[in-house]
Amino acid sequence: MNARAHGVNPWLVLVLVCLAQFMVVLDATIVNVALPSIQADLGMSESSLQWIVNAYALLFGGFLLLGGRAGDLIGRKRVFLGGLVLFTVASLLCALATGETTLIVARGLQGLGAALVSPAALSIVTTTFAEGAERTKALGVWAAIAVGGGAVGLVLGGLLVDVLSWPWIFFVNVPVGIAAFLVSLRYVPESKDEHMHKSFDLAGAASVTAGLVALVYGIVRSSALGWGSTEVLGFLALSAVLLVGFVFIERRSAEPLVRLSIFSVRTVRGANAAMFVVAAGLFSMFFFNTLYVQRVLGFSPLEAGFAFVPFTAGVIIGAGLSQRLVPALGAREVPLIGAALGAVGLLLFLRLTPDSSYLTDLLPGIMLASIGMGLLFVPITLIATSGIPNDDAGLASGLFNTSQQIGGALGLALLSTLATNRTEDELASAGAQPTADATADALVSGFHVAWLSSAILLAAGGLLLLGLLRRRDVAAVSEGEVAPVAA
């Protein structure tokens, strides 16, 4: 239902839902600069630390499509408000956590809340503004929130940790969430799709999410127990059973979470496969670079936040360039350039040592990787949402975001395990009580493994796009005939 029909200014509705989305985006980056402080305060191991990121990403990605469908069925405002409550309560639980298990579980609940808030908020925007200039302007504001929220999260996270303490990166969500809930309750109009069947695929969402959590847990535990241990093999087997079960559920469900026939569309199949692999490399870069600047170079959390602001600038530059290059070079070729630039940027991190300089050693890699990321993401997003009927636009865009979150979580689990193994091997060879210099060297050696693996994944993602798509498959995107579907 249009907001004006309820006597509500639609731009007020946009401000409210963007405030909630800003909180979700903020939380995805604000945690990164606090990771070393959380690790030191709670005594977390290197392998456990990545769960602070992955618990959020797995629950967010696993329930994102279900959240969108739930909004269509039972009311977008209702789901939006429910997600806000869950996200706000989970933030409070994160802030009050005194142990790693409590924090990780609360982070998962935050991810579930975000999976309800984000698609419902976008649906509210698209139903509030009529198609045309107003909706385009509104979606432009929405996209700016995604970029701006990431940058603000880095700096705000560093400031809160520096001036107060790490729990405040979660406390800050509580008053914002309460205010957004109370005002949205009054002013956001309700809407839902009256033509949809009254069911949604909870079994599918639960099975795929549980399967992915089991897979990540098995990968992480392999660093301590070895790949041949009973526990690791058991969780990997459980993951396989759950994921196969998910496919079986989707094939038989009257209202599947993911209608598997959508993968028969070559553009959807190619773009999602490429994004899954690319995200596996890029998530890890943020994680390990944050640890490097704080634990090795000795940056404060605030300095670390400012250190990564150029990354946001690089993404904006790359995204702007891609819009000009796609018509000139082609939608399949521009991501290859982006993958190559990103991989070179990651390889530049291999020069880093415990004595490296931010300006001359770290910043060049950050800029190349971020510009490459901008060149990658825009055309791949366009490809992922092209060549499909309008009725499947929401599914295609939600599936693309899911591939990004899940790929990132699995990549971080694998690369974190590889890096931890290398660091522990280096520390073992240094003796029973390694010096501070030996510890720094061991950490950097582990980070090198992760950065090299990230570069390989990024290059593989570009090559995968090249192999799965033909030039004629993306001709409409290259000629500017397809508009992106926001999600």
223 or 446: which carries more pLDDT confidence? 446
pLDDT (0 to 100) of residue 477: 57
Lowest mean pLDDT among 30-44, 97-111, 394-408: 394-408
- End-to-end CA distance of the chain, in Å? 20
In tens, the pLDDT along 310-359 reads 887 888 888 778 778 877 777 778 888 888 998 999 999 999 888 888 88
Task: Say which CATH topology domain 1-187 has.
Answer: Growth Hormone; Chain: A; (1.20.1250)
Nearest to 473 by CA among 306, 333, 374: 333
In tens, the pLDDT along 117-149 reads 877 777 777 667 665 556 556 665 666 666 566
Nearest to 485 by CA among 403, 405, 376, 386: 386
pLDDT (0 to 100) of residue 136: 56
What does the pLDDT average to over 264-284?
82
Residue 226 in this model has a pLDDT that exceeds 80: no
Contact 353, 331 (CB under 8 A): no
Residue 419 in this model has a pLDDT that exceeds 90: no
Query: Which pair of structure tokens corresponds to residue 90?
Result: 């989970």
Residue 179 in this model has a pLDDT that exceeds 50: yes
- Average pLDDT over the chain, rounded to whole? 78
Residue range 258-487, CATH number? 1.20.1250.20
Output the pTM of the full model: 0.76
Instruction: Write the CB contacts of 143 (distance below 8 Å, at least 6 apart in sequence).
Output: 486
Query: Hey, which of 182-191, 295-304, 432-441 has the most confident mean pLDDT?
Result: 295-304
Give backbone dihedrals phi and psi of 275, rounded to 5 degrees, phi first.
-65, -35
Q: Using pLDDT thresholds of 50, 70 and 90, give the confidence band for residue 261.
A: confident
Q: Using pLDDT thresholds of 50, 70 and 90, give the confidence band for residue 1.
A: very low
The radius of gyration computed from the CA coordinates of the chain, to the nearest angstrom, equals 22
**CA angle at 478 for the pair 368 and 148, rounded to the nearest 5°:** 45
Identical fold for domains 1-187 and 258-487, yes or no, is yes
Contact 338, 347 (CB under 8 A): no
pLDDT (0 to 100) of residue 344: 93
Q: What is the largest CA-CA distance in the chain?
A: 73
Residue 132 φ/ψ region, left for φ over 0, alpha for ψ in the -120 to 50 degree band, beta for the rest: left
Percent of the chain with pLDDT over 90: 7
pLDDT (0 to 100) of residue 364: 92
Q: Using pLDDT thresholds of 50, 70 and 90, give the confidence band for residue 487.
A: very low
Residue in this structure with the two tokens 């390694």, named with its chain if needed: 434
Where exactly are the structural domains of the chain? 1-187, 201-252, 258-487
In tens, the pLDDT along 79-101 reads 888 888 999 999 999 999 888 88
284 or 134: which carries more pLDDT confidence? 284
Angle between helices 10-30 and 76-96 (to 10 degrees): 30
pLDDT (0 to 100) of residue 199: 63
What does the pLDDT average to over 473-478?
59
Give backbone dihedrals phi and psi of 354, rounded to 5 degrees, phi first.
-65, -15
455 or 196: which carries more pLDDT confidence? 455
pLDDT (0 to 100) of residue 448: 93
